[in-house]
Chains A and B, each alone.
Chain A
Amino acid sequence: MMKTVKITADGQTIEAVLESPLLPALQDAGIDIPTLCYHRAVSPYGACRLCLVEINQKGWDDDWWKLTTSCNFPVLDGLTVRTDSEKVKKHRKLVIELIMARAPGAPQVREMAERLGVEDVRHRPQEGELCILCGLCARVCDEVIGAQVLTFSGRGGLKDMGTPYAEASEKCIGCGACEAVCPTGAVIIKDEGLRRTMVRWGTEHEFVPCRICGKPVGTKKQIAYLREKINIEEDIFVTCPDCKRQKYAEQVVAEGHL
């Protein structure tokens, strides 16, 4: 049984599940917390440092505040949070400035910078870079899809995200979840006819065409992977959503439900 506790954020009392991540609890209460590396579908990682808040735990001196990221900080009973203090705002600005220098070409990063009130970036930009190394693609590939294709390599300034040894991975099923969660458009996928190219990871995939209209439904590997996991009739996997809907509608009419 999940236990709910009360916390205070910017003077507002919030009920949240004990030891669940603080960030979604704050967001659910309508508090705006910027983040690029957090996604509810996967475990928090703490890479982008934008969701900084100040906290004061039960038992601490009233004037003792600690700066921490809220994505990987747990909801604790009696926790007090400041999300809008000068210190929080200042450090979020300094952080987004660094992210801007890392990925100057990413519109999402520029938008975030604007939102946080940063106009000028004083740092040396890394032209052409889009990836901010938040690791969301690898987390979703591992935790949600279960394919475990992506991983970090190197450390420090040489850190990179990709497939092991930067070789095309046989385990990639071409599902595109990595692209869906990427906050900066750094994961690029090209679909042409029945071909899918995962540009960043160097894999090529063949789409299975919809058995009715011929439009791509999913990649061959993806469908095989799904069928292995869920044992239901093949039809479901080889019909595109549009045709599925149409087919169902026809069925409903034919059976005289309307």
Chain B
Amino acid sequence: MQVPIQTSKDLKKASKEAEKLKAPLEHVIYLCAGTGCRASGAMELAEAMTAEIEGKKLGKKVSLMLTGCHGFCEKGPLIVHHPSGVFYQHLKPKDVAEVLETTLEKGDVVERLLYRTPTTDEIVKLEADIPFYKHQKRLVFDLNGRIDPFDIDDYLANGGYQALAKALAMDPEKVLEEVDRANLRGRGGGGFPAGRKWRSCRNAPAPDGIRYIICNADEGDPGAFMDRSVIEGNPHRVIEGMLIGAWAIGGTDGYVYIRHEYPLAVETLIKAIEDARRYGFLGSNILDSGLSFDIKINRGGGAFVCGESTALMASIEGEVGEPRAKHIHTVVQGLYNRPTNLNNVETWANVPLIIDRGAKWFTGIGTKKSSGTKIFSLVGKVANTGLVEVPMGLTLHQLIYDIGGGILGGKEFKAVQTGGPSGGAIPAKLLDLPVDFDSLTKAGSMMGSGGAIVMDEATCMVDVARYFTKFLEDESCGKCVTCREGLRQMGWILDDICEGKGKKEQLEVLKDLGEVVQEASLCALGGTAANPLVSTIKFFEEEYEEHIGEHVCRALVCKELIRYEIVDDLCTACGICRKECPTDAIEGKKKTLHVLDQDKCIQCGVCYDVCKYGSLKVVSGKYERTCEQTKFKLKPVKDQK
């Protein structure tokens, strides 16, 4: 490959060359080497796979490709076989020989390693047929799991940087119009139209000619990792998006603000930026267009608030990551007081697709006001958890049941928290709500960056509000009174309520606090920080009232309001609970009913978890739940002789 690539004509040639170079062998094993799969042993699997391919001299027939995240992290380590499309999950190095022999040589499958639908136990052979993937529309994620993120040629072979060439041949104004027409809205939280933002930035005076283009990769929501996966799986798509943005806006300098806690994403990005420079996609006079643009990486120190654009910019400048009032927008005066256009990872990754396939195609996906797809991090009490990309407007029901496979363990759905910690809990009655920017905001939650935490009947909504409120209290920059003191007081009251010390008047105080934190805080973190509290009060006020008035937690979660009891009829005196109890609260011996001393019990729930005979229950007022009976070896004490 002749690099740097100097013109778009050269790019065409280079792409053809890359296509040839990267033409798949007869078999390709796509092995997910994203962070999640690495944590469950993907690299050991890759080693074993390489050794087996070499050992059996299969090198001419099979290639192993380490890709970025496939999204189905809980099934890792996982592989997909090309061309058959067979999907294997939870692989171990010892499975490698069998998998390769059966799949490649015999054309058969290893059944025990295939996906099973959790609710029906049905076996699914092909990746495309797994419900988790079947209902997705993977556009941003299209190449995730199909290319080697460390290899720029792989991206080129798959049409990479073609959208950039196309954009550079267009007038910047036309590029801007296309993004405007596509109605691309910011995927980072607010859903602000990217086209409008770009235009404001372009029109803002830049006395020294410098305009900044920033990619916000400071993904701080607990449980959300779509931005990390996009960068780990397809970093050049993000770089290409930023380049197109720079062309349209007149940007000169780029920054990616990325979490330091994302080592693999940082490593991938560093390599991608170096390669892009070497190939001539970053630097001066890119593809002979006159565009000069380069990207620097800035690693964040882990503060959630630095995902807020003004705090992020302060952090890049080396200042404390505190937001400032945005009466003068960052597009006019942002980083170093220069015009700055900031979008998040997923937004930038959509840009090449829009330029490549056109605004009309893009607006054909999703809803009228929310075009395109959105990646969700579907987690919590659903059968299938992971990253899913769906067209906007899909209902929450489809997201949770069709893709997520429903609630685990046959329990009842209670709520879904969308939008991360500053989102809101949406109850069952709103499950038919379409997932788009405006519907979620209307329901008192938000799209946010796309977290979707599913909760079942065993989740206490007061406890949930407490958890998120405390998270936000810790992560508040502490600059303004409402956010810092308001959240702290809220947290204390929620502590009281969860501990059964709540008073009726406190509910009114909570409502007041919710209002003042939302209305009078300085930045968006504060403005949305009361959402978990306000939405849980709005939809689940009866749970608050039960906690306060009856000292009852219907979800059987709040320790001070529950007690554990032994179900005498079923106790087999197996002794496991007695052995495991950390406070020796359970007394009993062989063939004797076990007794739980409430004074010694600390409600840790170990007895409940270890009992296999269904003889422990947890009680709060009229609510109770008994542990499952999964063992039948022993008879209950009452039937023992």
Which of A's residues lie within 8 Å of B, judged by CB?
A: 45-49, 52, 67-69, 72-74, 91, 94-95, 98-99, 101-102, 122-124, 132-133, 135, 151-152, 154-159
Chain B residues touching A, majority SS: helix
> Are B325 and A69 closer than 8 Å at their CB atoms?
yes
Q: In the complex the two chains form, what is the Cα distance from A16 to B476 in whole Å?
A: 34
> Are A98 and B486 closer than 8 Å at their CB atoms?
yes
Q: Does B519 contact A (CB under 8 A)?
A: yes
Closest approach, in angstroms, between the C-beta of B328 and any C-beta of chain A?
7
Residue pairs across A and B with Cβ atoms less than 8 A apart, 14 shown, are: A74-B327, A74-B328, A91-B520, A95-B520, A98-B485, A102-B481, A102-B485, A124-B489, A135-B479, A154-B478, A156-B473, A156-B476, A157-B476, A158-B478
Question: Given A155-B476, A159-B478 in contact, is the A67-B519 Cβ separation under 8 Å?
Answer: yes
Closest approach, in angstroms, between the C-beta of A20 and any C-beta of chain B?
12
Closest approach, in angstroms, between the C-beta of A24 and any C-beta of chain B?
16
* Chain B residues with CB below 8 A from A123, complex form: 485, 489, 492, 509
Q: Does B12 contact A (CB under 8 A)?
A: no
* Chain A residues with CB below 8 A from B477, complex form: 155-156, 159
Question: Given A72-B325, A72-B327, A123-B509 in contact, is the A94-B516 Cβ separation under 8 Å?
Answer: yes
Q: Does B95 contact A (CB under 8 A)?
A: no
* Chain A residues with CB below 8 A from B509, complex form: 122-123
Q: In the complex the two chains form, what is the Cα distance from A72 to B327 in whole Å?
A: 8
Query: Residues 517-537 of chain B: 1 if any A CB is under 8 Å from the residue's CB, otherwise 0?
Result: 001111000000000000000
Query: Residues 472-484 of chain B: 1 if any A CB is under 8 Å from the residue's CB, otherwise 0?
Result: 0111111111101
- CB within 8 Å of A: which of B491-516? 492, 505, 509, 512-513, 515-516
Closest approach, in angstroms, between the C-beta of A119 and any C-beta of chain B?
15
What would 16 more interface pairs be, CB under 8 Å, given A46-B324, A52-B520, A69-B522?
A: A46-B522, A48-B481, A49-B482, A49-B522, A67-B519, A67-B520, A69-B520, A74-B327, A102-B481, A132-B481, A135-B479, A152-B320, A155-B477, A156-B473, A156-B484, A157-B478
Interface centre among A47, A67, A68, A101 (most CB of B within 10 A): A47
Closest approach, in angstroms, between the C-beta of B488 and any C-beta of chain A?
5
Question: Given A46-B325, A48-B481, A49-B482 in contact, is the A157-B473 Cβ separation under 8 Å?
Answer: yes
Q: Which of B328, B478, B487, B521 contacts A133 (CB 8 A)?
A: B478
* Chain B residues with CB below 8 A from A151, complex form: 320
Closest Cβ neighbor of B519 among chain A residues: A67
Interface centre among B324, B473, B482 (most CB of A within 10 A): B482
Q: Does B266 contact A (CB under 8 A)?
A: no
Q: Does B66 contact A (CB under 8 A)?
A: no
Q: Does B303 contact A (CB under 8 A)?
A: yes
Q: In the complex the two chains form, what is the Cα distance from A132 to B480 in whole Å?
A: 10
> Are B484 and A133 closer than 8 Å at their CB atoms?
yes
**Nearest 3 A/B pairs, CB to CB:** A159-B478, A94-B516, A98-B485
Q: In the complex the two chains form, what is the Cα distance from A156 to B322 in whole Å?
A: 11
Which of B's residues lie within 8 Å of A, judged by CB?
A: 303, 305, 320, 322, 324-325, 327-328, 473-482, 484-489, 492, 505, 509, 512-513, 515-516, 519-522
Q: In the complex the two chains form, what is the Cα distance from A154 to B484 in whole Å?
A: 12
Closest approach, in angstroms, between the C-beta of B392 and any C-beta of chain A?
27
* Chain A residues with CB below 8 A from B476, complex form: 155-157
Q: In the complex the two chains form, what is the Cα distance from A154 to B473 in whole Å?
A: 12
* Chain B residues with CB below 8 A from A68, complex form: 325, 327
Closest approach, in angstroms, between the C-beta of B568 and any C-beta of chain A?
43
* Chain A residues with CB below 8 A from B513, complex form: 94
* Chain A residues with CB below 8 A from B481, complex form: 47-49, 95, 98-99, 102, 132-133
* Chain A residues with CB below 8 A from B475, complex form: 155-156
> Are A155 and B325 closer than 8 Å at their CB atoms?
no
* Chain A residues with CB below 8 A from B520, complex form: 49, 52, 67, 69, 91, 94-95
Q: Which of B327, B328, B480, B512 contacts A49 (CB 8 A)?
A: B480
Closest approach, in angstroms, between the C-beta of A211 and any C-beta of chain B?
43
> Are B327 and A98 closer than 8 Å at their CB atoms?
no
> Are A157 and B320 closer than 8 Å at their CB atoms?
no
* Chain A residues with CB below 8 A from B303, complex form: 155
> Are B485 and A155 closer than 8 Å at their CB atoms?
no
Closest Cβ neighbor of A94 among chain B residues: B516
> Are B473 and A124 closer than 8 Å at their CB atoms?
no
> Are B519 and A73 closer than 8 Å at their CB atoms?
no
* Chain B residues with CB below 8 A from A155, complex form: 303, 305, 474-478
Q: In the complex the two chains form, what is the Cα distance from A136 to B515 in whole Å?
A: 27
Closest Cβ neighbor of B320 among chain A residues: A152
Q: Which of B479, B488, B516 contacts A157 (CB 8 A)?
A: B488
* Chain A residues with CB below 8 A from B516, complex form: 91, 94-95, 98
Closest approach, in angstroms, between the C-beta of A63 and any C-beta of chain B?
17
Closest approach, in angstroms, between the C-beta of A135 and any C-beta of chain B?
8
Closest Cβ neighbor of B325 among chain A residues: A72
* Chain B residues with CB below 8 A from A158, complex form: 478
* Chain A residues with CB below 8 A from B328, complex form: 74
* Chain B residues with CB below 8 A from A152, complex form: 320, 322, 478
Q: In the complex the two chains form, what is the Cα distance from A133 to B320 in whole Å?
A: 15
Closest approach, in angstroms, between the C-beta of B321 and any C-beta of chain A?
8
Closest Cβ neighbor of A71 among chain B residues: B325
Question: Given A69-B522, A157-B488 in contact, is the A95-B482 Cβ separation under 8 Å?
Answer: yes
Q: In the complex the two chains form, what is the Cα distance from A46 to B484 in whole Å?
A: 13
* Chain B residues with CB below 8 A from A157, complex form: 473-474, 476, 478, 484, 488
> Are B327 and A159 closer than 8 Å at their CB atoms?
no
Closest Cβ neighbor of A66 among chain B residues: B519
Q: In the complex the two chains form, what is the Cα distance from A157 to B489 in whole Å?
A: 10
Q: In the complex the two chains form, what is the Cα distance from A133 to B485 in whole Å?
A: 11
> Are B478 and A94 closer than 8 Å at their CB atoms?
no
* Chain B residues with CB below 8 A from A101, complex form: 485, 489
Q: In the complex the two chains form, what is the Cα distance from A124 to B512 in whole Å?
A: 15
* Chain A residues with CB below 8 A from B325, complex form: 46, 68-69, 72-73
Q: Which of A46, A91, A94, A122 contacts B480 (CB 8 A)?
A: A46
> Are B474 and A98 closer than 8 Å at their CB atoms?
no
Closest Cβ neighbor of B305 among chain A residues: A155
Q: In the complex the two chains form, what is the Cα distance from A45 to B26 in whole Å?
A: 64
Q: In the complex the two chains form, what is the Cα distance from A52 to B520 in whole Å?
A: 8
Closest Cβ neighbor of B512 among chain A residues: A94
Closest approach, in angstroms, between the C-beta of A160 and any C-beta of chain B?
9
Closest approach, in angstroms, between the C-beta of B383 and any C-beta of chain A?
35
Question: Given A73-B327, A74-B327, A154-B478 in contact, is the A159-B484 Cβ separation under 8 Å?
Answer: yes
* Chain A residues with CB below 8 A from B486, complex form: 98
